[in-house]
Structure 1
Amino acid sequence: MKRYWKPGILILILISFAFIGCQKVPAGYIGVKVYLLGSNKGVDSEELGVGRYWIGINEELYLYPTFTKTYVWTYDSQEDSESNESIDIQTKEGLTVNADVGIQFRIDPSKANILFQTYRRGIDEITDSVLRTAVRDSLNRLASAMTSDMIYGPGRVDLIEKATVAIRDEFIPKGIIVERLYWIGTMRLPEKVKQALDAKIEAIQKAESRENELREALAQAKIDKAKAEGTAAQIRLESQQLTPLMIQKLWIEKWDGKLPQNMMGDKTNILIPFK
């Protein structure tokens, strides 16, 4: 009886190892098989497409997304990370502005080996450290020439767009295609600075509103003036045209052919009826 148990146990062990060693590259990913021991230590010569592969004890499989992946570095612990991953940005005045930043990117399947050889990390580690550090450095480099009111106001769009271009150019050769960077919510400033900037923005908006009202008033005044001048010109034209002959002609055109029923005598107030 014992003889039959030993081959059965061996078969079960082999099957277990087979299932353990068989790993899957799911749809939307590219795999990179890495040898951990021996002369082949390093990266396999070709990437692994979608499918199942045998990964030995001395091998490790890394998965990289070929679809668009979105990640946010935020102050909120309810987002992608429980820790504070928001980014501090130094302005031209040396003021620290804190912001939440999002990124959308994907991996170039033809450069997955290059990506691993460059960083020797999985996609989560690359996102948490490499990409975040690069984005932070790019934003700080660009913001160092901008004042806080520019970054907090209309300049924030230009800042994130320039950072996107810089990060995209840096990582395309390494196999990461950065589609865009974007702000999440409003920036966080020291409360006193925020109040001062809000007051300044409000004053600018009020001034612009008054300028618009003044332009509208001037435009309406010009319209009213033009209408008045047009009416006066029409009156002058009509008065010039109303000669005695023209008045008589208009009177004849309007006469219905009937004589008046009552007429006033010459130099008298008595009305004499005509029948």
Structure 2
Amino acid sequence: MKKIRITLIVFIVIVLSIAFFHWFMAVERIDAGCVGIKVNLVGNERGVADITECSGWVVYMPLFTEIHEFPVYTQVKDYDPFAINAKDGSEFTVDPTFSYKVNAIKVPDIFRNFRRGLPELENTYLRNVIMDCYRNVANLYLSDSLISHRPQFEAAVQTMIVEQLKKEGFEFQQLTSNLNAPQSLKDAIDAKNKTTQEAIQSENKLRKAEAEAKAKIIAAEAEKKANDLKASALTPLIIQQMYIEKWDGKLPTYGQVPQLFQNITK
């Protein structure tokens, strides 16, 4: 009987110890590169306490206090694609990848405003900001303009995101949009580009034909001028001199002796 009592007392002590350490005493390690905040759950100071814990071990009472850990190094979030509309109603798809950091000094304010950790904020507040910025800026562009001015569009989106997030303690680092136009618009642009290319090719062929025709005219005119010059230079004396240079010294055996050689036979 005494043994049973001792066993029961030990059991009760163990249970009470476990309950005590579970509800009244806990130790948590804040990882390096993170900021831990201590949140009071009871009393007049309910909310984020003035103390911001850095990396290290933190002793607290779970019944009255919570510890939340915020990483302050670069976070990368790859969001699911979503639709945006241009000014003329055409629907584009954006598949963004977003990189950001949390301002360590702003961590208590972030938790005070949102009461959520980073994973939840990424899928709620941050995602909503990014979607709204894309949709607001896209609504300023017509479809053709959005495609041809994609760098300006993405720069405007980034500027708006930076302004929105900076106020809440988030530091923008990089954004990849992966903007994708609707297939119907792609087909229309391809057809337009094909027509433009064909027009350019036709114009080039016409210019080439005109150039070749001008070249032939210039060559013909040059040849005519050369022939006219030669003809004007062939005086009777020059023609006689050419005959003499080509003569082999023999007179014709038959027929009439050309006028050029008649004086030679006398």
Both structures adopt the same fold (TM-score exceeding 0.5) = yes
Deviation at 1:164, TM superposition (A): 1.0
- 1:159 paired with 2:153, answer yes
> What residue in structure 1 maps to residue 35 of structure 2?
30
> What residue in structure 1 maps to residue 234 of structure 2?
none
Distance 2:200 2:152 in 1: 25
> What residue in structure 1 maps to residue 180 of structure 2?
187
* Letter matched to residue 38 of structure 1: G
Task: Provide the aligned length of Structure 1 versus Structure 2.
Answer: 214
Distance 1:203 1:60 in 2: 67
Among 162, 182, 190, which residue is 1:198 paired with? 190
> What residue in structure 2 maps to residue 91 of structure 1?
86
Cα pair distance change 1:14/1:150, threshold 3 Å: same
Cα pair distance change 1:60/1:214, threshold 3 Å: farther
Deviation at 1:112, TM superposition (A): 0.8
1:10-63 per-residue CA deviation (whole Å, 9 max, x = no partner) reads 685278539972222112221222112221200011322111212322222222
* Letter matched to residue 180 of structure 2: M
Deviation at 1:92, TM superposition (A): 0.7
* Letter matched to residue 65 of structure 1: P
Among 125, 132, 139, which residue is 2:120 paired with? 125
> Are the aligned partners of 2:86 and 2:138 in contact in 1 as well (CA < 8 Å)?
yes
> Are the aligned partners of 2:74 and 2:100 in contact in 1 as well (CA < 8 Å)?
yes
> Are the aligned partners of 2:25 and 2:61 in contact in 1 as well (CA < 8 Å)?
no
- 1:54 paired with 2:48, answer no
Cα pair distance change 1:181/1:52, threshold 3 Å: same
Distance 1:30 1:208 in 2: 63
Cα pair distance change 1:203/1:128, threshold 3 Å: farther
Deviation at 1:202, TM superposition (A): 4.5
- 1:104 paired with 2:99, answer yes
SS class of match (2:61): coil
* Letter matched to residue 41 of structure 2: L
Q: Which residues of structure 2 form unaligned runs of 5+?
A: 216-221, 223-247, 251-266
Distance 2:65 2:194 in 1: 62
* Letter matched to residue 249 of structure 2: K
> Are the aligned partners of 2:24 and 2:61 in contact in 1 as well (CA < 8 Å)?
no
SS class of match (1:40): coil
Looking at CA atoms only, which structure, 1 or 2, has the larger radius of gyration? 2
SS class of match (1:167): helix
Cα pair distance change 1:202/1:99, threshold 3 Å: farther
> What residue in structure 2 maps to residue 114 of structure 1?
109
Distance 1:178 1:208 in 2: 46
> Are the aligned partners of 1:99 and 1:188 in contact in 2 as well (CA < 8 Å)?
no
> What residue in structure 2 maps to residue 73 of structure 1?
79
> What residue in structure 2 maps to residue 267 of structure 1?
249
Higher helix share: 2
- 1:141 paired with 2:133, answer no
SS class of match (1:187): coil
> What residue in structure 1 maps to residue 262 of structure 2?
none
Q: Which residues of structure 1 form unaligned runs of 5+?
A: 75-85, 226-231, 233-265, 269-275
> Are the aligned partners of 1:92 and 1:145 in contact in 2 as well (CA < 8 Å)?
yes
Residue identity (%): 22
Deviation at 1:5, TM superposition (A): 2.3
SS class of match (2:53): coil
